[in-house]
Chains A and B, each alone.
Chain A
């Protein structure tokens, strides 16, 4: 019988099987297949139209824009999970930052100060925890999973929201990923284009560490 700690919040999603490395790989494969299913038909349309009628370049270009744009929209949804939320008062934010800083090591604290994302190494990869979501850079750094997950208290300082998520992640990584909603899974390069500029160094650091 396993004595591994289980995040209590998983009880709120009993229909979801507990996530593990194999299940995550299957979900990622599903995202890859879905991306191909959205992309290949439009590329095929563009190629066939150009083959049948070279003057159909505008329509073919439109099809290629769709082939590029649909995965980009999904990546944008992924980037949204770590988009900064509205800040609270300066005093509470500073107090909350102090507590979060105590939870982080020196390098992680510095990265959070620069990017707003707290790095955390886990068994599934390197996490970047934000206020209302987290990015998981998978081993090798070529794929990233974007998880939408939050503490149900919009009035908390942003660093407190991050700290809540960080503690839950440290308690039970698989449980954390089970509770969270997967908003996007795909190439790190695709997410990078959609991520806010100040956050990109965090993604680069996580890629290097993954």
Chain B
């Protein structure tokens, strides 16, 4: 999620090793920037992930929150 609404950083399919590798690199670069990766795990639930989950349909990168 960013100023444009959201940007697709990478797309992959589990069988495509090159795409997965490229997605994993992009994923790691965003985490290094301080973002958190979240995967929806059913209605009302989400889980933070630290490695690219190859089987996930969607991984969302979110920024840290803080008390206002």
Contact = CB atoms under 8 A, between A and B. Distances in A.
Contact of A168 (B4, B40, B62): B62
A27 to B, nearest CB: 14
Given A5-B47, A163-B60, 20 more contacts: A92-B5, A95-B6, A96-B1, A96-B5, A96-B6, A99-B1, A103-B40, A120-B44, A122-B44, A132-B68, A150-B65, A151-B62, A152-B65, A152-B66, A155-B3, A157-B3, A160-B1, A167-B38, A171-B46, A181-B68
B59 to A, nearest CB: 11
Interface of A: 5, 7-9, 12-13, 81, 88, 91-99, 103, 105, 120-122, 132-133, 148-153, 155-157, 159-160, 163-165, 167-168, 170-171, 176, 179-181
Contacts of A179: 65-67
A181 B6 CA distance: 28
B38 A99 contact: no
Contact of A8 (B5, B44, B64, B68): B64
A192 to B, nearest CB: 22
B13 interface: no
Kindly list the 4 A-B residue pairs having the minimum CB-CB distance in the complex, ordered from nearest.
Answer: A95-B5, A148-B68, A170-B46, A181-B67
Best-surrounded residue of A9, A159, A167 (most CB of chain B within 10 A): A167
Nearest to A175: B65
B31 to A, nearest CB: 11
Interface in B14-68: 36, 38, 40, 43-48, 60, 62-68
Nearest to A92: B5
B2 interface: yes
A123 to B, nearest CB: 10
Contacts of A5: 47-48
A107 to B, nearest CB: 12
B68 A99 contact: no
A152 to B, nearest CB: 6
B38 A151 contact: no
Contacts of B68: 81, 132-133, 148-150, 180-181
A108 B67 CA distance: 24
B49 to A, nearest CB: 10
Given A150-B66, A165-B65, A168-B62, A94 B5 contact: yes
Contacts of A156: 1-3
Nearest to B40: A103
Contacts of A105: 43
Nearest to B48: A171
Contact of A99 (B6, B36, B48, B66): B6
